[in-house]
Structure 1
Amino acid sequence: MTLTALGLVLTASLAHALWNAAAKTVSGHGYTFVFAYQLISALLLLPIGITILAQRPELLGWPLLGVAVVSGLLHIAYSVTLQTGYDRADLGIVYPVARGTGPVLTILIALAVLGERPGWAGVAGGLVIIAGIAVVTVPGPAAAGIPDRRERRRPLLTGLFWGGLTGAFIAGYTLWDHHVVTTTEYPPLVYFAVSTAFNAIVMAPRALRRPADLRAVAVGNKRAVAVVAVLSPLAYILVLIAMQQAQVSLIAPLRETSIIIGMLLAWWLFHERDLGRRLTGAAIVITGIGLIALA
Protein backbone atom coordinates (compact mmCIF):
# COMPACT_ATOMS: atom_id res chain seq x y z
CA MET A 1 0.00 0.00 0.00
CA THR A 2 1.33 3.44 -0.93
CA LEU A 3 1.87 6.16 1.67
CA THR A 4 -0.68 8.29 -0.19
CA ALA A 5 -3.38 5.65 0.16
CA LEU A 6 -2.42 5.13 3.80
CA GLY A 7 -2.69 8.86 4.51
CA LEU A 8 -6.05 9.12 2.74
CA VAL A 9 -7.56 6.29 4.76
CA LEU A 10 -6.22 7.52 8.11
CA THR A 11 -7.53 11.04 7.43
CA ALA A 12 -10.88 9.53 6.50
CA SER A 13 -10.85 7.55 9.76
CA LEU A 14 -10.51 10.73 11.81
CA ALA A 15 -13.37 12.42 9.94
CA HIS A 16 -15.48 9.28 10.27
CA ALA A 17 -15.07 9.05 14.05
CA LEU A 18 -15.91 12.73 14.48
CA TRP A 19 -19.14 12.55 12.47
CA ASN A 20 -20.25 9.40 14.29
CA ALA A 21 -19.73 11.14 17.63
CA ALA A 22 -21.91 14.00 16.36
CA ALA A 23 -24.59 11.54 15.19
CA LYS A 24 -24.65 9.91 18.64
CA THR A 25 -25.76 13.22 20.18
CA VAL A 26 -29.07 12.97 18.30
CA SER A 27 -31.82 11.21 20.23
CA GLY A 28 -34.94 10.19 18.33
CA HIS A 29 -35.92 11.46 14.86
CA GLY A 30 -33.30 9.11 13.38
CA TYR A 31 -34.80 8.83 9.89
CA THR A 32 -35.39 12.57 9.63
CA PHE A 33 -31.88 13.31 10.87
CA VAL A 34 -30.39 11.02 8.21
CA PHE A 35 -32.51 12.70 5.53
CA ALA A 36 -31.41 16.16 6.69
CA TYR A 37 -27.70 15.47 6.48
CA GLN A 38 -28.07 13.56 3.21
CA LEU A 39 -29.90 16.56 1.74
CA ILE A 40 -27.23 19.04 2.88
CA SER A 41 -24.47 16.73 1.61
CA ALA A 42 -26.17 16.52 -1.79
CA LEU A 43 -26.49 20.30 -2.00
CA LEU A 44 -22.77 20.63 -1.23
CA LEU A 45 -21.58 17.90 -3.60
CA LEU A 46 -23.82 18.35 -6.63
CA PRO A 47 -22.38 21.69 -7.85
CA ILE A 48 -18.89 20.14 -7.84
CA GLY A 49 -20.14 16.98 -9.52
CA ILE A 50 -22.01 18.97 -12.19
CA THR A 51 -18.87 21.01 -12.88
CA ILE A 52 -16.85 17.84 -13.46
CA LEU A 53 -19.58 16.34 -15.66
CA ALA A 54 -19.68 19.52 -17.74
CA GLN A 55 -16.03 18.90 -18.56
CA ARG A 56 -16.59 15.18 -19.19
CA PRO A 57 -20.14 14.88 -20.61
CA GLU A 58 -19.46 11.35 -21.88
CA LEU A 59 -19.78 10.11 -18.28
CA LEU A 60 -23.38 11.27 -17.97
CA GLY A 61 -25.97 8.58 -18.69
CA TRP A 62 -28.04 5.71 -17.35
CA PRO A 63 -25.02 3.55 -16.39
CA LEU A 64 -23.82 6.22 -13.94
CA LEU A 65 -27.32 6.53 -12.49
CA GLY A 66 -27.65 2.75 -12.22
CA VAL A 67 -24.49 2.15 -10.21
CA ALA A 68 -25.20 5.20 -8.05
CA VAL A 69 -28.71 3.93 -7.23
CA VAL A 70 -27.36 0.60 -5.97
CA SER A 71 -24.80 2.42 -3.84
CA GLY A 72 -27.45 4.84 -2.59
CA LEU A 73 -29.78 2.07 -1.42
CA LEU A 74 -26.95 0.38 0.48
CA HIS A 75 -25.93 3.67 2.09
CA ILE A 76 -29.50 4.49 3.10
CA ALA A 77 -29.84 1.08 4.78
CA TYR A 78 -26.49 1.61 6.50
CA SER A 79 -27.25 5.15 7.70
CA VAL A 80 -30.73 4.42 9.05
CA THR A 81 -29.58 1.20 10.74
CA LEU A 82 -26.60 2.94 12.34
CA GLN A 83 -28.72 5.84 13.62
CA THR A 84 -31.29 3.40 15.04
CA GLY A 85 -28.47 1.59 16.84
CA TYR A 86 -27.17 4.85 18.31
CA ASP A 87 -30.67 5.65 19.55
CA ARG A 88 -30.99 2.29 21.33
CA ALA A 89 -27.48 1.40 22.55
CA ASP A 90 -24.12 2.87 23.52
CA LEU A 91 -21.67 4.33 21.02
CA GLY A 92 -19.03 2.15 22.71
CA ILE A 93 -20.87 -1.00 21.59
CA VAL A 94 -22.54 -0.15 18.27
CA TYR A 95 -19.59 1.65 16.71
CA PRO A 96 -16.86 -0.97 17.27
CA VAL A 97 -19.14 -3.90 16.41
CA ALA A 98 -20.24 -2.21 13.17
CA ARG A 99 -16.73 -1.21 12.20
CA GLY A 100 -15.40 -4.65 13.14
CA THR A 101 -18.04 -6.74 11.37
CA GLY A 102 -17.73 -4.76 8.14
CA PRO A 103 -14.06 -5.49 7.39
CA VAL A 104 -14.34 -9.13 8.47
CA LEU A 105 -17.07 -9.74 5.88
CA THR A 106 -15.29 -7.59 3.29
CA ILE A 107 -11.98 -9.46 3.66
CA LEU A 108 -13.69 -12.86 3.48
CA ILE A 109 -15.60 -11.95 0.31
CA ALA A 110 -12.58 -10.25 -1.27
CA LEU A 111 -10.46 -13.36 -0.68
CA ALA A 112 -13.11 -15.95 -1.58
CA VAL A 113 -14.98 -14.25 -4.43
CA LEU A 114 -12.80 -11.49 -5.85
CA GLY A 115 -9.60 -13.53 -5.70
CA GLU A 116 -7.55 -10.78 -4.06
CA ARG A 117 -4.20 -11.82 -2.59
CA PRO A 118 -2.90 -9.00 -0.37
CA GLY A 119 0.04 -11.07 0.94
CA TRP A 120 0.81 -12.34 4.42
CA ALA A 121 1.52 -8.87 5.85
CA GLY A 122 -1.81 -7.49 4.61
CA VAL A 123 -3.84 -10.43 5.89
CA ALA A 124 -1.99 -10.48 9.22
CA GLY A 125 -2.46 -6.73 9.60
CA GLY A 126 -6.19 -7.02 8.97
CA LEU A 127 -6.52 -9.82 11.52
CA VAL A 128 -4.51 -7.87 14.11
CA ILE A 129 -6.72 -4.80 13.61
CA ILE A 130 -9.81 -6.97 14.08
CA ALA A 131 -8.28 -8.42 17.26
CA GLY A 132 -7.70 -4.90 18.56
CA ILE A 133 -11.31 -4.04 17.81
CA ALA A 134 -12.40 -7.11 19.78
CA VAL A 135 -10.38 -5.92 22.79
CA VAL A 136 -12.10 -2.56 22.62
CA THR A 137 -15.54 -4.11 22.19
CA VAL A 138 -15.71 -6.73 24.98
CA PRO A 139 -17.16 -4.97 28.03
CA GLY A 140 -15.56 -5.08 31.44
CA PRO A 141 -17.16 -6.83 34.43
CA ALA A 142 -19.01 -3.69 35.47
CA ALA A 143 -19.82 -2.20 32.10
CA ALA A 144 -21.69 1.07 32.25
CA GLY A 145 -21.77 0.76 36.04
CA ILE A 146 -24.50 -1.91 35.95
CA PRO A 147 -23.82 -4.62 38.57
CA ASP A 148 -26.46 -7.13 37.46
CA ARG A 149 -25.14 -9.46 34.72
CA ARG A 150 -28.54 -9.80 33.02
CA GLU A 151 -29.00 -6.02 33.00
CA ARG A 152 -25.53 -5.62 31.47
CA ARG A 153 -26.31 -8.23 28.84
CA ARG A 154 -29.45 -6.52 27.54
CA PRO A 155 -27.82 -3.33 26.18
CA LEU A 156 -24.85 -5.39 25.00
CA LEU A 157 -27.07 -7.69 22.92
CA THR A 158 -28.98 -4.71 21.53
CA GLY A 159 -25.73 -3.05 20.53
CA LEU A 160 -24.39 -6.28 19.04
CA PHE A 161 -27.52 -6.72 16.91
CA TRP A 162 -27.62 -3.20 15.47
CA GLY A 163 -23.85 -3.02 15.18
CA GLY A 164 -23.70 -6.37 13.37
CA LEU A 165 -26.50 -5.40 10.98
CA THR A 166 -24.77 -2.10 10.27
CA GLY A 167 -21.53 -3.99 9.61
CA ALA A 168 -23.25 -6.16 7.02
CA PHE A 169 -24.34 -3.05 5.11
CA ILE A 170 -20.80 -1.64 5.44
CA ALA A 171 -19.43 -4.74 3.73
CA GLY A 172 -22.09 -4.44 1.03
CA TYR A 173 -21.43 -0.83 0.07
CA THR A 174 -17.64 -1.20 0.45
CA LEU A 175 -17.48 -4.07 -2.03
CA TRP A 176 -19.93 -2.47 -4.47
CA ASP A 177 -18.29 0.95 -4.42
CA HIS A 178 -14.83 -0.61 -4.77
CA HIS A 179 -16.09 -2.46 -7.84
CA VAL A 180 -17.46 0.74 -9.38
CA VAL A 181 -14.46 3.02 -8.79
CA THR A 182 -11.95 0.40 -9.98
CA THR A 183 -13.81 -0.86 -13.08
CA THR A 184 -15.32 2.38 -14.42
CA GLU A 185 -14.03 5.86 -15.26
CA TYR A 186 -16.41 7.63 -12.89
CA PRO A 187 -14.53 10.04 -10.59
CA PRO A 188 -15.31 9.18 -6.94
CA LEU A 189 -16.67 12.65 -6.24
CA VAL A 190 -19.10 12.52 -9.17
CA TYR A 191 -20.19 8.99 -8.32
CA PHE A 192 -20.82 9.80 -4.66
CA ALA A 193 -22.53 13.10 -5.46
CA VAL A 194 -25.09 11.32 -7.67
CA SER A 195 -25.55 8.59 -5.05
CA THR A 196 -26.10 11.13 -2.25
CA ALA A 197 -28.59 13.10 -4.35
CA PHE A 198 -30.51 9.88 -4.99
CA ASN A 199 -30.56 9.21 -1.23
CA ALA A 200 -32.08 12.60 -0.48
CA ILE A 201 -34.74 12.25 -3.20
CA VAL A 202 -35.78 8.74 -2.10
CA MET A 203 -35.95 9.69 1.59
CA ALA A 204 -37.76 13.00 1.03
CA PRO A 205 -41.42 11.80 0.79
CA ARG A 206 -41.40 10.03 4.16
CA ALA A 207 -39.39 12.80 5.85
CA LEU A 208 -41.69 15.55 4.54
CA ARG A 209 -44.68 13.76 6.04
CA ARG A 210 -43.10 14.41 9.46
CA PRO A 211 -43.00 18.22 9.74
CA ALA A 212 -42.71 18.08 13.53
CA ASP A 213 -39.59 15.89 13.28
CA LEU A 214 -38.12 18.22 10.65
CA ARG A 215 -38.61 21.23 12.92
CA ALA A 216 -37.13 19.35 15.89
CA VAL A 217 -34.02 18.37 13.91
CA ALA A 218 -33.65 21.85 12.38
CA VAL A 219 -33.84 23.52 15.80
CA GLY A 220 -32.24 21.03 18.16
CA ASN A 221 -29.73 19.17 15.97
CA LYS A 222 -28.58 21.69 13.38
CA ARG A 223 -24.94 21.48 14.51
CA ALA A 224 -24.93 17.69 14.30
CA VAL A 225 -26.55 17.86 10.85
CA ALA A 226 -23.86 20.27 9.64
CA VAL A 227 -20.98 18.19 11.04
CA VAL A 228 -22.25 14.93 9.54
CA ALA A 229 -23.22 16.55 6.22
CA VAL A 230 -19.63 17.75 5.71
CA LEU A 231 -17.48 15.06 7.35
CA SER A 232 -19.42 11.98 6.23
CA PRO A 233 -19.00 12.54 2.46
CA LEU A 234 -15.45 13.86 2.97
CA ALA A 235 -14.46 10.67 4.81
CA TYR A 236 -15.95 8.36 2.22
CA ILE A 237 -14.70 10.21 -0.85
CA LEU A 238 -11.17 9.91 0.55
CA VAL A 239 -11.76 6.17 0.96
CA LEU A 240 -13.05 5.86 -2.62
CA ILE A 241 -9.91 7.58 -3.91
CA ALA A 242 -7.76 5.24 -1.81
CA MET A 243 -9.65 2.25 -3.25
CA GLN A 244 -8.29 3.18 -6.67
CA GLN A 245 -4.76 2.75 -5.31
CA ALA A 246 -4.99 -0.34 -3.09
CA GLN A 247 -6.88 -3.61 -2.68
CA VAL A 248 -10.20 -3.52 -0.85
CA SER A 249 -9.03 -6.31 1.49
CA LEU A 250 -6.41 -3.82 2.76
CA ILE A 251 -8.55 -0.67 2.73
CA ALA A 252 -11.48 -2.23 4.62
CA PRO A 253 -9.64 -3.11 7.86
CA LEU A 254 -7.37 -0.06 7.76
CA ARG A 255 -10.26 2.41 7.70
CA GLU A 256 -11.55 0.85 10.91
CA THR A 257 -8.78 2.60 12.82
CA SER A 258 -11.50 5.19 13.29
CA ILE A 259 -12.78 2.95 16.06
CA ILE A 260 -9.91 4.00 18.32
CA ILE A 261 -10.73 7.67 17.93
CA GLY A 262 -14.39 6.82 18.37
CA MET A 263 -13.76 4.98 21.63
CA LEU A 264 -11.73 7.86 23.03
CA LEU A 265 -14.54 10.24 22.07
CA ALA A 266 -17.05 7.90 23.75
CA TRP A 267 -14.98 8.04 26.95
CA TRP A 268 -14.47 11.80 26.75
CA LEU A 269 -17.85 13.06 25.50
CA PHE A 270 -20.26 10.37 26.75
CA HIS A 271 -18.34 9.26 29.88
CA GLU A 272 -18.17 5.61 28.85
CA ARG A 273 -15.72 3.53 30.90
CA ASP A 274 -12.67 1.24 30.54
CA LEU A 275 -10.19 3.71 29.04
CA GLY A 276 -7.24 1.39 29.82
CA ARG A 277 -8.74 -1.49 27.86
CA ARG A 278 -9.51 0.83 24.98
CA LEU A 279 -5.94 2.12 24.86
CA THR A 280 -4.71 -1.50 24.81
CA GLY A 281 -6.94 -2.12 21.84
CA ALA A 282 -5.54 1.04 20.22
CA ALA A 283 -1.98 -0.28 20.56
CA ILE A 284 -3.01 -3.57 18.90
CA VAL A 285 -4.71 -1.71 16.06
CA ILE A 286 -1.63 0.45 15.48
CA THR A 287 0.42 -2.74 15.15
CA GLY A 288 -2.01 -3.92 12.48
CA ILE A 289 -1.64 -0.63 10.63
CA GLY A 290 2.11 -1.15 10.53
CA LEU A 291 1.68 -4.60 8.97
CA ILE A 292 -0.74 -3.27 6.34
CA ALA A 293 1.70 -0.46 5.49
CA LEU A 294 4.28 -3.16 4.69
CA ALA A 295 1.87 -4.69 2.18
Structure 2
Amino acid sequence: MPLSALALVIIAAFTHASWNLLAKRAADSRHFVWLYSAGTVLLWAPVIGLLFWHDAPQLDWRDGLALLVSALLHTAYSLALQRGYKVADLSVVYPMARGTGPLIAFFGAILVLGERPGWLAALGALLVVAGVFWLAGGPQLLRPGTDKRGLLWGVLTGAFIAAYTVWDGYSVKVLLLSPFLVDYVGNLLRFMLLLPRALADRAALWPEWLRYWKPALGVSVLGPLGYTLVLFAMQQAPVSHVAPARELSMMVGAWYGAKLLDEGELSRRLLAAAIIVAGVLCLALG
Protein backbone atom coordinates (compact mmCIF):
# COMPACT_ATOMS: atom_id res chain seq x y z
CA MET A 1 0.00 0.00 0.00
CA PRO A 2 1.44 3.43 -0.91
CA LEU A 3 2.36 5.58 2.09
CA SER A 4 0.05 8.33 0.85
CA ALA A 5 -2.92 5.94 0.95
CA LEU A 6 -1.90 4.71 4.42
CA ALA A 7 -1.68 8.31 5.65
CA LEU A 8 -5.22 8.99 4.39
CA VAL A 9 -6.48 5.86 6.16
CA ILE A 10 -4.79 6.84 9.45
CA ILE A 11 -6.38 10.31 9.42
CA ALA A 12 -9.74 8.75 8.53
CA ALA A 13 -9.40 6.36 11.49
CA PHE A 14 -9.41 9.25 13.95
CA THR A 15 -12.35 11.00 12.31
CA HIS A 16 -14.33 7.76 12.09
CA ALA A 17 -13.88 6.77 15.73
CA SER A 18 -14.69 10.32 16.81
CA TRP A 19 -17.99 10.54 14.97
CA ASN A 20 -18.99 7.11 16.24
CA LEU A 21 -18.42 8.37 19.79
CA LEU A 22 -20.79 11.25 19.04
CA ALA A 23 -23.35 8.86 17.54
CA LYS A 24 -23.18 6.63 20.62
CA ARG A 25 -23.88 9.61 22.85
CA ALA A 26 -27.00 10.32 20.78
CA ALA A 27 -28.19 6.71 20.81
CA ASP A 28 -31.57 7.62 22.30
CA SER A 29 -32.42 9.96 19.43
CA ARG A 30 -34.98 8.59 16.99
CA HIS A 31 -33.97 10.96 14.19
CA PHE A 32 -30.24 11.40 14.71
CA VAL A 33 -29.36 9.86 11.32
CA TRP A 34 -31.68 12.32 9.58
CA LEU A 35 -30.32 15.25 11.61
CA TYR A 36 -26.69 14.63 10.67
CA SER A 37 -27.65 13.84 7.06
CA ALA A 38 -29.35 17.24 6.87
CA GLY A 39 -26.28 18.88 8.36
CA THR A 40 -24.04 17.16 5.83
CA VAL A 41 -26.19 18.30 2.90
CA LEU A 42 -25.95 21.92 4.07
CA LEU A 43 -22.32 22.03 5.22
CA TRP A 44 -20.80 20.20 2.24
CA ALA A 45 -22.90 21.86 -0.48
CA PRO A 46 -20.17 24.48 -1.20
CA VAL A 47 -17.62 21.70 -1.83
CA ILE A 48 -19.93 20.05 -4.37
CA GLY A 49 -20.65 23.44 -5.92
CA LEU A 50 -16.92 23.99 -6.44
CA LEU A 51 -16.58 20.49 -7.90
CA PHE A 52 -19.25 21.16 -10.53
CA TRP A 53 -17.96 24.66 -11.21
CA HIS A 54 -14.38 23.48 -11.76
CA ASP A 55 -15.08 20.28 -13.71
CA ALA A 56 -18.72 19.28 -14.02
CA PRO A 57 -18.88 15.46 -14.13
CA GLN A 58 -20.60 13.89 -17.12
CA LEU A 59 -22.87 11.24 -15.60
CA ASP A 60 -24.59 8.42 -17.44
CA TRP A 61 -27.14 5.84 -16.24
CA ARG A 62 -24.42 3.59 -14.79
CA ASP A 63 -23.13 6.43 -12.66
CA GLY A 64 -26.65 7.26 -11.50
CA LEU A 65 -27.30 3.63 -10.57
CA ALA A 66 -24.00 3.41 -8.71
CA LEU A 67 -24.83 6.52 -6.69
CA LEU A 68 -28.36 5.30 -5.91
CA VAL A 69 -27.26 1.86 -4.71
CA SER A 70 -24.48 3.45 -2.64
CA ALA A 71 -27.00 5.75 -0.96
CA LEU A 72 -29.32 2.85 -0.12
CA LEU A 73 -26.47 0.81 1.36
CA HIS A 74 -25.21 3.73 3.44
CA THR A 75 -28.72 4.45 4.72
CA ALA A 76 -29.20 0.84 5.80
CA TYR A 77 -25.75 0.90 7.45
CA SER A 78 -26.50 4.10 9.36
CA LEU A 79 -29.83 2.85 10.70
CA ALA A 80 -28.39 -0.53 11.72
CA LEU A 81 -25.43 1.11 13.46
CA GLN A 82 -27.58 3.58 15.38
CA ARG A 83 -29.92 0.76 16.46
CA GLY A 84 -26.93 -1.23 17.69
CA TYR A 85 -25.73 1.73 19.76
CA LYS A 86 -29.17 1.94 21.35
CA VAL A 87 -29.10 -1.64 22.65
CA ALA A 88 -25.38 -2.29 23.34
CA ASP A 89 -22.00 -0.75 24.20
CA LEU A 90 -19.85 1.15 21.73
CA SER A 91 -16.97 -1.22 22.53
CA VAL A 92 -19.04 -4.21 21.33
CA VAL A 93 -21.01 -2.88 18.36
CA TYR A 94 -18.24 -0.75 16.85
CA PRO A 95 -15.52 -3.46 16.78
CA MET A 96 -17.90 -6.15 15.53
CA ALA A 97 -19.16 -3.89 12.75
CA ARG A 98 -15.69 -2.72 11.78
CA GLY A 99 -14.26 -6.25 11.97
CA THR A 100 -16.97 -8.07 10.04
CA GLY A 101 -17.09 -5.46 7.29
CA PRO A 102 -13.44 -5.57 6.21
CA LEU A 103 -13.30 -9.37 6.26
CA ILE A 104 -16.27 -9.61 3.88
CA ALA A 105 -14.97 -6.68 1.84
CA PHE A 106 -11.56 -8.36 1.54
CA PHE A 107 -13.07 -11.39 -0.18
CA GLY A 108 -15.59 -9.21 -2.04
CA ALA A 109 -12.74 -7.21 -3.60
CA ILE A 110 -11.20 -10.49 -4.78
CA LEU A 111 -14.45 -11.85 -6.24
CA VAL A 112 -15.99 -8.64 -7.62
CA LEU A 113 -13.04 -6.37 -8.44
CA GLY A 114 -10.61 -9.13 -9.42
CA GLU A 115 -7.92 -8.09 -6.92
CA ARG A 116 -5.22 -10.61 -6.03
CA PRO A 117 -3.65 -9.73 -2.64
CA GLY A 118 -0.49 -11.62 -1.64
CA TRP A 119 -0.13 -13.92 1.36
CA LEU A 120 1.22 -11.12 3.57
CA ALA A 121 -1.82 -8.95 2.86
CA ALA A 122 -4.12 -11.92 3.53
CA LEU A 123 -2.36 -12.53 6.86
CA GLY A 124 -2.76 -8.86 7.68
CA ALA A 125 -6.50 -8.97 6.99
CA LEU A 126 -6.92 -12.01 9.26
CA LEU A 127 -4.89 -10.37 12.05
CA VAL A 128 -7.04 -7.25 11.84
CA VAL A 129 -10.25 -9.25 12.11
CA ALA A 130 -8.87 -11.40 14.96
CA GLY A 131 -7.83 -8.28 16.85
CA VAL A 132 -11.22 -6.68 16.36
CA PHE A 133 -13.00 -9.83 17.59
CA TRP A 134 -10.80 -9.90 20.71
CA LEU A 135 -11.40 -6.18 21.20
CA ALA A 136 -15.15 -6.70 21.19
CA GLY A 137 -14.96 -9.35 23.92
CA GLY A 138 -13.50 -12.47 22.34
CA PRO A 139 -14.94 -15.91 23.10
CA GLN A 140 -17.12 -14.58 25.92
CA LEU A 141 -19.34 -12.99 23.28
CA LEU A 142 -20.41 -16.50 22.23
CA ARG A 143 -21.13 -17.89 25.70
CA PRO A 144 -24.71 -18.99 26.45
CA GLY A 145 -26.65 -16.32 28.30
CA THR A 146 -24.57 -13.43 26.94
CA ASP A 147 -26.60 -10.60 25.47
CA LYS A 148 -26.14 -11.14 21.73
CA ARG A 149 -27.90 -7.98 20.53
CA GLY A 150 -24.70 -5.98 20.21
CA LEU A 151 -23.04 -8.89 18.39
CA LEU A 152 -25.93 -9.35 15.98
CA TRP A 153 -26.38 -5.66 15.17
CA GLY A 154 -22.63 -5.32 14.82
CA VAL A 155 -22.44 -8.18 12.31
CA LEU A 156 -25.41 -6.83 10.35
CA THR A 157 -23.81 -3.39 10.25
CA GLY A 158 -20.56 -5.01 9.11
CA ALA A 159 -22.35 -6.69 6.23
CA PHE A 160 -23.58 -3.30 5.03
CA ILE A 161 -20.06 -1.88 5.47
CA ALA A 162 -18.66 -4.63 3.25
CA ALA A 163 -21.33 -4.05 0.62
CA TYR A 164 -20.84 -0.31 0.37
CA THR A 165 -17.04 -0.63 0.54
CA VAL A 166 -16.86 -2.89 -2.50
CA TRP A 167 -19.58 -0.96 -4.34
CA ASP A 168 -18.01 2.44 -3.70
CA GLY A 169 -14.58 1.04 -4.53
CA TYR A 170 -15.95 0.07 -7.94
CA SER A 171 -17.51 3.53 -8.31
CA VAL A 172 -14.27 5.47 -7.71
CA LYS A 173 -11.81 3.02 -9.30
CA VAL A 174 -13.74 1.79 -12.35
CA LEU A 175 -16.44 4.40 -13.00
CA LEU A 176 -14.01 7.14 -11.86
CA LEU A 177 -16.64 9.00 -9.87
CA SER A 178 -15.43 11.73 -7.53
CA PRO A 179 -15.18 10.60 -3.87
CA PHE A 180 -16.82 13.90 -2.88
CA LEU A 181 -19.76 13.19 -5.18
CA VAL A 182 -20.21 9.59 -3.98
CA ASP A 183 -20.35 10.63 -0.33
CA TYR A 184 -22.50 13.72 -0.86
CA VAL A 185 -25.13 12.05 -3.02
CA GLY A 186 -25.34 9.25 -0.47
CA ASN A 187 -26.08 11.74 2.28
CA LEU A 188 -28.51 13.70 0.12
CA LEU A 189 -30.57 10.63 -0.78
CA ARG A 190 -30.45 9.37 2.81
CA PHE A 191 -31.78 12.77 3.93
CA MET A 192 -34.64 12.50 1.42
CA LEU A 193 -35.43 8.87 2.25
CA LEU A 194 -35.72 9.62 5.98
CA LEU A 195 -37.52 12.97 5.54
CA PRO A 196 -41.10 11.54 5.56
CA ARG A 197 -40.36 9.66 8.79
CA ALA A 198 -38.95 12.81 10.40
CA LEU A 199 -41.89 14.98 9.30
CA ALA A 200 -44.38 12.42 10.59
CA ASP A 201 -42.81 12.81 14.04
CA ARG A 202 -42.47 16.60 14.06
CA ALA A 203 -43.38 16.81 17.75
CA ALA A 204 -40.16 14.99 18.67
CA LEU A 205 -37.94 16.49 15.97
CA TRP A 206 -37.39 19.98 17.43
CA PRO A 207 -36.66 18.75 20.98
CA GLU A 208 -34.19 16.25 19.56
CA TRP A 209 -32.47 18.99 17.57
CA LEU A 210 -32.15 21.14 20.69
CA ARG A 211 -30.65 18.22 22.59
CA TYR A 212 -28.43 16.66 19.92
CA TRP A 213 -27.49 19.49 17.53
CA LYS A 214 -23.85 19.54 18.63
CA PRO A 215 -23.15 15.82 18.04
CA ALA A 216 -25.21 15.95 14.84
CA LEU A 217 -23.07 18.78 13.45
CA GLY A 218 -19.94 16.94 14.58
CA VAL A 219 -20.96 13.84 12.61
CA SER A 220 -21.92 16.07 9.66
CA VAL A 221 -18.31 17.26 9.45
CA LEU A 222 -16.31 14.22 10.55
CA GLY A 223 -18.33 11.50 8.80
CA PRO A 224 -18.00 12.79 5.22
CA LEU A 225 -14.42 13.93 5.83
CA GLY A 226 -13.29 10.49 7.01
CA TYR A 227 -15.07 8.49 4.32
CA THR A 228 -13.97 10.81 1.51
CA LEU A 229 -10.37 10.27 2.60
CA VAL A 230 -10.97 6.51 2.47
CA LEU A 231 -12.37 6.76 -1.06
CA PHE A 232 -9.30 8.70 -2.17
CA ALA A 233 -7.16 5.96 -0.59
CA MET A 234 -9.11 3.36 -2.61
CA GLN A 235 -8.11 5.20 -5.78
CA GLN A 236 -4.44 4.72 -4.85
CA ALA A 237 -4.45 1.23 -3.32
CA PRO A 238 -6.39 -2.05 -3.61
CA VAL A 239 -9.73 -2.14 -1.78
CA SER A 240 -8.64 -5.44 -0.20
CA HIS A 241 -5.82 -3.50 1.52
CA VAL A 242 -7.67 -0.30 2.40
CA ALA A 243 -10.74 -1.95 3.94
CA PRO A 244 -8.86 -3.84 6.70
CA ALA A 245 -6.41 -0.97 7.25
CA ARG A 246 -9.35 1.25 8.22
CA GLU A 247 -9.53 -0.76 11.43
CA LEU A 248 -6.81 1.41 12.91
CA SER A 249 -9.83 3.31 14.16
CA MET A 250 -10.32 0.45 16.62
CA MET A 251 -7.41 1.73 18.72
CA VAL A 252 -9.09 5.10 19.02
CA GLY A 253 -12.48 3.50 19.60
CA ALA A 254 -11.06 1.23 22.31
CA TRP A 255 -9.61 4.19 24.16
CA TYR A 256 -12.88 6.13 23.84
CA GLY A 257 -14.90 3.20 25.16
CA ALA A 258 -12.62 2.55 28.12
CA LYS A 259 -11.80 6.13 29.15
CA LEU A 260 -14.67 8.32 28.00
CA LEU A 261 -17.60 5.90 28.31
CA ASP A 262 -16.27 3.86 31.28
CA GLU A 263 -16.67 0.54 29.47
CA GLY A 264 -13.52 -0.86 31.16
CA GLU A 265 -10.96 -3.61 30.35
CA LEU A 266 -8.38 -1.26 28.89
CA SER A 267 -5.50 -3.80 29.00
CA ARG A 268 -7.40 -6.36 26.91
CA ARG A 269 -8.42 -3.69 24.46
CA LEU A 270 -4.84 -2.45 24.10
CA LEU A 271 -3.62 -6.00 23.42
CA ALA A 272 -6.28 -6.37 20.75
CA ALA A 273 -5.28 -3.01 19.30
CA ALA A 274 -1.67 -4.22 19.05
CA ILE A 275 -2.84 -7.23 17.02
CA ILE A 276 -4.72 -4.85 14.73
CA VAL A 277 -1.61 -2.71 14.26
CA ALA A 278 0.39 -5.83 13.33
CA GLY A 279 -2.25 -6.66 10.75
CA VAL A 280 -2.17 -3.16 9.27
CA LEU A 281 1.64 -3.34 9.02
CA CYS A 282 1.31 -6.60 7.08
CA LEU A 283 -1.15 -4.91 4.75
CA ALA A 284 1.16 -1.95 4.23
CA LEU A 285 4.14 -4.18 3.48
CA GLY A 286 2.02 -6.51 1.37
Shorter chain as denominator, the TM-score bin is: over 0.9
Q: Could you tell me which residue of structure 2 aligns to residue 2 of structure 1?
A: 2
Distance 1:215 1:197 in 2: 20
Paired residue type of 2:275: I
Stretch deviating more after TM superposition (19-28 or 81-90): 19-28
Is this contact kept in 1: 2:168–2:182, CA < 8 A?
Answer: no
Shift of residue 270, structure 1, vs aligned partner: 1.1
Stretch deviating more after TM superposition (162-171 or 123-132): 123-132
SS of structure 1 residue aligned to 2:161: helix
Shift of residue 139, structure 1, vs aligned partner: 5.5
Q: Could you tell me which residue of structure 2 aligns to residue 239 of structure 1?
A: 230
Q: Could you tell me which residue of structure 2 aligns to residue 219 of structure 1?
A: 210
Q: Could you tell me which residue of structure 1 aligns to residue 77 of structure 2?
A: 78
Deviations for 1:26-76, whole angstroms, at most 9, x for unmatched residues? 13233x110010111111222211221133235255544332111110000
* Superposition map of 1:251-266 within 5 A: 251-266=242-257
* Superposition map of 1:179-190 within 5 A: 179-190=170-181
Distance 1:124 1:140 in 2: 21
Is this contact kept in 2: 1:53–1:59, CA < 8 A?
Answer: no
**Under a length normalisation based on structure 1, what TM-score does the superposition of the two structures give?**
0.91
Matching of residue 267 in structure 1 with residue 258 in structure 2: yes
* Superposition map of 1:1-295 within 5 A: 1-30=1-30, 32-60=31-59, 62-138=61-137, 153-154=146-147, 157-295=148-286
Stretch deviating more after TM superposition (32-41 or 49-58): 49-58
SS of structure 1 residue aligned to 2:177: coil
Paired residue type of 2:253: G
Distance 2:264 2:62 in 1: 48
Distance 1:273 1:58 in 2: 48
Distance 1:289 1:264 in 2: 18
SS of structure 2 residue aligned to 1:59: coil
Aligned-residue RMSD, C-alpha: 1.8
The 3 A distance-change label for structure 1 pair 205 and 267 is same
Is this contact kept in 2: 1:53–1:190, CA < 8 A?
Answer: no
The 3 A distance-change label for structure 1 pair 203 and 228 is same
Distance 2:192 2:111 in 1: 36
Shift of residue 123, structure 1, vs aligned partner: 1.1
Deviations for 1:217-270, whole angstroms, at most 9, x for unmatched residues? 211111110111110000100000000011111011000111121111011111
Distance 2:3 2:22 in 1: 29
**Under a length normalisation based on structure 2, what TM-score does the superposition of the two structures give?**
0.94
Is this contact kept in 2: 1:106–1:252, CA < 8 A?
Answer: yes
SS of structure 2 residue aligned to 1:282: helix
The 3 A distance-change label for structure 1 pair 48 and 294 is same
Q: Could you tell me which residue of structure 2 aligns to residue 146 of structure 1?
A: none
Paired residue type of 2:161: I
Distance 2:51 2:173 in 1: 18
Distance 1:57 1:264 in 2: 42
Distance 2:207 2:241 in 1: 41
Q: Sequence identity of aligned pairs in percent?
A: 41
Paired residue type of 1:175: V
The 3 A distance-change label for structure 1 pair 205 and 22 is same
Is this contact kept in 2: 1:46–1:197, CA < 8 A?
Answer: no
Stretch deviating more after TM superposition (249-258 or 47-56): 47-56
Unaligned runs of 5+ in 2: none
**Paired residues, number:** 285
Unaligned runs of 5+ in 1: 144-148
Shift of residue 285, structure 1, vs aligned partner: 1.1
